[in-house]
A and B are shown apart, each in its own frame.
Chain A
């Protein structure tokens, strides 16, 4: 299923909506167009065929009249040949009628020459007529009669040719096919049979002699007529159920007319009484050929009328089919175009709603993205896209709410930050002022005391010197305390800065040694330094702060060690770190105290400070400083054996704490 669906999805995923709709539209339109084209084409072909048939049918009326007139011509001229003069006027009239009819057909031929190509066939008919009017040799009456019959046959043949060329004979509809057959074949043959009987009868009466040859012809006709009647009746039965107009005529006239044919022949038989023992007729019991002709003509004309009346019915049937086709074509065209228009209208509406929906969602998304409070997307569509809008609104609402929350938080943070900055500034200013204000009087106190102790202002008594020395010692203690308190305050206020710079470790160790060696020599303690050869010569960090920490550790070690040694050991550590360890052989620190010593002022509680001097803030400050440098300050100690304080620092100080603080300040 997935394999089958993939190509379609691949295409649809890559087309914008406009092309999606265009593609589907084209795919649907092509077969619809082809089908419509084929339908219209076949309709057109059928219609053209039917119109051609109708054109062919134009010939039928004049040809029918022509045949009727030639039959009359045949009877009248044959009667005239045997000396009967009763038909002279009628004969001239019928000759004129025939000539007029030939011209009518000439015109039709001229009109349809292109379509049917009948010129040659028509020329043959006219040739026959010429022959009839100007016979080349002397003819017997029967020969003359038969020559006329040949002319009738020529017109029949021509009419069949018309029917052929115009497609009338090929028509496959039941009613038109049998009607065509009636007109061109069976009915005509029946009529001809009856008409010949009329002609031969008239001739016999006019000649008052009974020639075997003529009588034989009559007998032949009598024998033929039943078969012809049967086939005509049969064909009428075929047509009637399929064509109401024809059925009406058949019911009212045709059947009665055809039924009268046997009576007609019985009458003729009665006219020519036959000797039962001989083939020769005994006598003719009639003397007026015109009366016989007129009487017989009634039946002939009735039969002819069937033919004549069938022609418009056939035409009407064809026309009805043309009209039906036209109606069908119109219907299909209207339905198709209407459906197409509705489809285009709906596709257009679909496309527009989809595009409008997407556009509105997009706009809303943009507004949302730009931080504007986006109004809810309202869509008329209640389909799946409508569901998307509902989801979008939910998300949008949540976003707007959370955004408002964020903005509110950001404002609160800003305010808090500003307050913090202001507080920090005030603290910093206070510290700086405090520092200055404390140092200023300390300068005079420390300075005058020390100046007196130099005895330059004057000699001191022993007791004076002792007191002044005590003053000086407390001055130093007070100064240390002030410095430590200020340092700690600065650390806590976040104003202590770590400034990383490359520095040489050995130089720093030398400075520290120079600064502290007197502390040990005074107490008679050994002091040794060890520097790991693997340590890089230069590290990056705040050398001043590192120095401050180590000096503090060394002075503590000096303070708490009364015998033995103090060792400063600098070593390379793991993962780009190094360590500075200060080991003493002092009295050691209990596990409980190992925690407390790093807390500010706790040593004061323990009384150590009073005993040993110092502010008691040194280790607290040191640990804070080391932590600010991304380092650690730890202690290992055993009572009675000594302690080791170890500072562990990165070789390249990144100062995350300082940076975080900086970042906080910027924010």
Chain B
């Protein structure tokens, strides 16, 4: 049974309020370890020192958006295989499909439910593990 407390989570979002909420929710309710970055560049610069095991990113960000960040992460050998989940206010029809098609390992829409955010992240993680096992076979 995966446990969020075992993970080093990196959250990327250009909205400071949402970053704070995300960090507080996961730390307070799930005792997870969360590092935050206000943009993709900061996130990338944190990789070497923080070495995250789970990355959650917003999609709409100035300069480098979530999709571009995903491509950059997938291009690096140390983050190529990491679970990367999109946490976005793009909750229109087709947004989820677009996100998964782009290569994200999960999709969580904003506003997220504080009570179930951890479970959702764990679900994503479970599906990610399942896919990895299938691919390895």
Q: Tell me, in angstroms, the Cα distance from A490 to B113 when the chains sit together.
A: 24
* Residues on A with beta carbons closer than 8 Å to the beta carbon of B24: 451, 457
Q: Does A65 contact B (CB under 8 A)?
A: no
Contacts of A442 in B (CB 8 A): 110-111
Contact status A450-B113, CB under 8 Å: yes
Residues in A438-466 with C-beta less than 8 Å from chain B: 438-448, 450-451, 454, 456-457
A437 contacts which chain B residues (CB < 8 A)?
Answer: 89
Q: Which of B67-102 contact A (CB under 8 A)?
A: 88-94
- Contact of B21 with A479 in the complex, beta carbons under 8 Å: no
CB of B44 within 8 Å of the partner chain:
no
Distance in angstroms between the alpha carbons of A497 and B25 in the assembled complex: 35
Q: Which of A438, A450, A457, A486 has the most CB of B within 10 A?
A: A450
Task: Provide the residues of chain A in CB contact with B21, threshold 8 Å.
Answer: 443-444, 447-448, 451
Distance in angstroms between the alpha carbons of A566 and B94 in the assembled complex: 33
Q: Decide if B110 touches A439 in the complex (CB within 8 Å).
A: yes
Stretch at the interface among A252-260, A371-379, A428-436, A614-622: A428-436
Q: How far is the CB of A492 from chain B (nearest CB, A)?
A: 14
**B15 touches which of A440, A446, A486, A497 (Cβ 8 Å):** A440
B115 & A454 in contact (Cβ 8 Å cutoff): yes
With a CB–CB cut-off of 8 A, which chain B residues contact A451? Answer: 21, 24-25, 28-29, 114
0/1 interface trace, chain A 415-438, chain B, CB 8 Å (1 if under): 000000000000000011001111
B25 touches A447 (CB 8 A): yes
What is the predominant secondary structure among interface residues of chain B facing chain A?
loop
- Residues of A within 8 Å of B112, CB to CB, are 443, 447
Q: Are B28 and A457 in contact (CB under 8 A)?
A: yes
- B90 engages A435 (CB within 8 Å): yes
Q: Contact check: which of B15, B29, B94 meets A454 at CB < 8 Å?
A: B29
- The 8 Å CB contact of B18, one of A440, A457, A497, is A440
Closest-CB distance, B135 to chain A (whole angstroms): 25
Query: Do the beta carbons of B94 and A497 come within 8 Å of each other?
Result: yes
Which residue, of B24, B91, B92, has the highest number of chain A Cβ atoms within 10 A? B92
A368 at the interface (CB under 8 A from B): no
| Total contacting residues, chain B, CB less than 8 A | 24
How distant is A570 from chain B, measured CB to nearest CB, in Å? 25
Complex-state Cα separation, A446 to B115, whole angstroms: 11
> Which residues of chain B come closer than 8 Å to A456, judged between CB atoms?
28-29
Interface of A is mostly: helix
Chain A residues near B17: list those with CB within 8 A.
441, 444, 448
CB neighbours of A450 from chain B (8 A): 113-115
The reply on B60 being an interface residue by CB < 8 A is: yes
Please determine whether B93 and A497 come into contact, CB atoms closer than 8 angstroms: yes
Please give the distance in Å from A484's CB to the nearest CB on chain B: 13
CA distance A97 to B113 in the complex (A): 164
User: Which residues does chain A contribute within 8 Å of B88, judged by CB atoms?
Assistant: 436
On chain B, the residues within 8 Å of A441 by CB distance are 17
Closest chain-A Cβ to B98's Cβ sits at a distance in Å of 11
Q: Which of A443, A445, A454, A490 contacts B93 (CB 8 A)?
A: A490
Whether B114 and A454, one on each chain, are in contact in the complex, defined by CB atoms closer than 8 angstroms, is yes
User: How long is the Cα–Cα vector from A231 to B108 in the complex, in angstroms?
Assistant: 151
Given A436-B89, A450-B114, A444 and B18 contact (CB-CB distance below 8 Å): yes
Whether A440 contacts B110 by the Cβ 8 Å rule is: yes
Chain B CB count within 10 A is highest, among A435, A439, A454, for A439
Q: Once the chains bind, are A436 and B115 in contact (CB under 8 Å)?
A: no
* CB neighbours of B18 from chain A (8 A): 440, 443-444, 447
A445 to B89, CA, bound (A): 13
A225 proximity list for chain B (CB < 8 A)? none
Nearest Cβ on chain B to A226's Cβ, whole angstroms? 146
In the assembled complex, the Cα of A437 lies from the Cα of B111 at a distance in Å of 11
Residue of B nearest to A438 (CB): B89
Q: How far is the CB of A139 from chain B (nearest CB, A)?
A: 156
* Most interface-central of B17, B28, B111 (chain A CB within 10 A): B111
Asked whether A446 lies within 8 Å of B92 as measured between CB atoms, the reply is no
Closest A-chain residue to B58, C-beta based? A440
The chain A residue with its CB closest to the CB of B109 is A439
Which of B22, B28, B90, B113 interacts with A436 by CB under 8 Å? Answer: B90
Q: How far is the CA of A451 from the CA of B93 in the complex (A)?
A: 28
- C-alpha spacing A448/B15, complex, angstroms: 14
- Let me know if A496 is at the binding interface, CB within 8 A: yes
Report A382 CB to chain B, min CB distance, Å.
70
Instruction: Bits for B108-133, please: 1 = Cβ < 8 Å to A, else 0.
Output: 01111111000000000000000000
Query: Given A443-B110, A447-B112, list of 5 further CB < 8 A pairs?
Result: A451-B25, A451-B29, A451-B114, A456-B29, A497-B94
Closest 9 A-B residue pairs measured CB to CB?
A439-B89, A443-B111, A450-B114, A456-B28, A443-B110, A444-B17, A447-B21, A446-B111, A436-B89
Q: Which residues of A approach B to under 8 Å, CB–CB?
A: 431-432, 435-448, 450-451, 454, 456-457, 479, 486, 490, 496-497
Report which B residues bind A (CB closer than 8 A): 15, 17-18, 21-22, 24-25, 28-29, 60, 88-94, 109-115
A-B contacts, 27 listed (Cβ < 8 Å): A432-B92, A435-B90, A435-B91, A436-B60, A436-B88, A438-B89, A439-B89, A439-B111, A440-B110, A443-B111, A443-B112, A444-B15, A444-B17, A444-B18, A444-B21, A445-B111, A447-B25, A448-B17, A448-B21, A450-B115, A451-B21, A454-B114, A454-B115, A457-B24, A457-B28, A497-B93, A497-B94
